[in-house]
Every structure is written in structure tokens, then in C-alpha cells.
Amino acid sequence: MKVSWLFWKTTIFLVVISYFEIYSIHCNQQLPKSVLKVLNSPLKPHIVVPVRSTCTCGYRPMGQVKIVGGQLSEDNNWPWVVPIVSVANGMADQFCGSSLINSQYLLTASHCVMNIKPEDLANYRALLGTNSISNPNATVAYLQEIKMHSLFNRTTLDYDIALIKLTKRVPFTPTVRPVCLKQAGAPYVGVAGTVAGWGSLQKGGKGVDKLRETKIRVLNNVDCAKNYSATGVQITGKMLCARFPGKDSCQGDSGGPFFLRNRNTNIFTQIGIVSFGVDCASPQYPGVYTRISSFLKWIIDNTQDAIYCKKSF
């Protein structure tokens, strides 16, 4: 069968066009500073993320690698952990934690911010670059907007995730740096990570001034659901459970990050958000966290006006 010259011309043209499309994607690092990088991630469809190549997410300064059963964190050990404080009474009262994930957004739990009205945002602050709530040298950031997940359930605490937009972009320094969100290795069963916050050291106690941290280990959701079966609490796929004997997050730690160290690096990735539990460090009931891997697309879709560090996803 004879093939027309027009057919061959069309085929050659399509091959050439495809070549230049692929070349342009792989060479986008030569474009201007703010570019849109198409990630070949496990999520489908592909996600478009604003990327900035001059910073590294999740990097912790070298140092020793109360939350219940935990220890004081070294100064600036975790430069992405951020307390949210109320200043309505003239003092900085910490009530929830959060994490810096890019140039202008904090990640926290919806139950932390569900009662904050837009007109009351002026009564709250985020303190960056500090381990101490009372540190006069902390970088103070103002809140502009709260974005709660539309499916958040106040009763079951499913979809317990929210974004806080700051009024200005945050300059990254050795003490102020976003955490990574790339979820390689999910669902992380059996993996140990760190949870950090300013919550109380025991049930019913008061929050602390200095950041504390502790190690906990991820559990299988099926086993976690069995632990909670008698309470009527449903453990869903959007949740992640973790515990370690005598160690846990507690009141005031809500919204804070649960993160782990990437293998053979000094880079850390957040895999959970402190959500809820029964008592604190209870041997029967593990702590429950919002599972970050279930919300990557939602996070990216709602932060398109921010700048992420390279390898954030």
C-alpha cells in the first residue's frame, strides 16, 4: 500500500512538536525565577506547583535529633513549627500549633480555627523562628485568611485540615523554613516520627512556654480502629494513628505537625496534623492525626498564590 507524502510530512511535524514540548518541560529551570513546574507525582492528574529553586524545604540545622513524655526542643531545631496565639487580652496565649509549608501559608487543623470569624483575625498572630512563646525576638506574622476544608466534620473530625494565609510573604532564614510535604513511603505503618508543640504535659494541664517534642510510631488504621471501637469514634482513611508508650500529643498541640526524617538526609517531611485523641498518652487510645497524603491536591489548589521550595512535593 502506498503512503502519501502528505502523511509523512504530518508525521514528521508531530514528532518535532512533541520533541520541543518535552524539551521545554525538562528545561524549565532556565526560565524566570517564578515558574510553574509540572510534577510527575503519584497523584493523577498531574499537579501544577509554584516552585522556587533557591530554597530547600524541611532542612533542619545540625543538632540533637512537653508534649507528654517528651523533651525540650533545642532552639530552632524545627524551623517550620509555628505557634498560633491569641492577643485579644493583651497577652500571647497559645492555643494551637501549625507548620509553615511555603512563603505565605501555615497548615493546621480545622478544629483549631473553626470558630475564628474573619472580623476577628486581627486578634491572632503566628510566631515564627522561635521555640518560646514569650520570646520578644520572634518574627510576628499577621493572619489574612483561613481556608478550612469544605468537608470538615465538626463531630467526627474527619477532613480536619485548614490553611492560614499570612498577610505577607515570609522571608526564609536558618530559623524560618518550610517543611516538605512529599509523601514518599506512605502509609508509613511502623515508621517513627516526631511531633512537636506547646501543649500541656498532662490531661487538663496548661500549655508550656517552650517547644517540646517526642517520638511516636505510626500504627495500622485497622488496629487503631479496634482501639477506638468501644468509643464509637470512626477512624477513616483521611486519618493516621500513632503512639509510643508514655508519649503523645495533648491539649494545645492540636494543629501542629507530625513529621519524619527522610532516609540518609537531614530533610524532614510532614505526614500528619495533630487532630484528636482520648486522654493523653493513653495505652488504650493512640493519637489521631490528619493524613497529609490524602490532601496534597487540596493543599496545592488552595495555595497557588504562594511560592514553594524545590522538592516540596
User: pLDDT by residue (tens digit) across 219-251?
Assistant: 999 999 999 999 999 999 999 999 876 554 556
Q: Indicate whether 261 and 213 sit together in one domain.
A: yes
Q: How far apart are CA 90 and CA 209, in angstroms?
A: 16
How much is the pTM?
Answer: 0.79
Let me know whether 114 and 85 are in one domain. Answer: yes
pLDDT given for residue 140 in this prediction: 95
Largest pairwise CA distance in the chain: 86
Q: What is the pLDDT of residues 149-189, one digit of tens each?
A: 999 999 999 999 999 999 999 999 999 999 999 998 888 99
List the domain range (segments joined by +) for residue 139.
79-179+295-305
Is residue 67 situated within a structural domain? no
Could you report the per-residue pLDDT of 87-146, keeping only the tens digit for each? 988 888 888 999 999 999 999 999 999 999 999 999 999 999 999 998 999 999 999 999
Is the domain of 144 the same as that of 14?
no
Domain match, 32 and 109 both: no
Mean pLDDT of the chain: 80
Residue 136 lies in a domain: yes
Q: Are residues 162 and 198 in the same domain?
A: no
Total domains in the fold of the chain: 3
136: domain CATH number?
2.40.10.10
Residue 63 belongs to a domain = no
Residues 172 and 206 in one domain: no
Greater model confidence, 46 or 66: 46
Catalytic residues: 111, 160, 254
Within this chain, do residues 118 and 259 fall inside the same structural domain, yes or no?
no
CA dihedral 48, 310, 29, 25 (to 10 degrees): -30
Q: What nine digits make up the cell of 269?
A: 517531611
Could you tell me if 207 and 286 lie in one domain?
A: yes
Task: List the single range of 17-31, 62-76, 245-259, 271-285 with lowest mean pLDDT.
Answer: 17-31
Shared-domain flag, residues 201 and 282:
yes
Q: Is residue 185 part of a domain?
A: no
pLDDT of residue 81: 96
Q: Does 72 reside within a domain?
A: no
Q: Alpha-carbon torsion 207, 135, 212, 102, what sign?
A: positive
- Whether 255 is in a domain gets the answer yes
Least confident of 10-24, 169-183, 257-271, 282-296: 10-24
At 59-100, the pLDDT tens digits run: 986 554 444 445 556 678 899 999 999 998 888 888 899 999
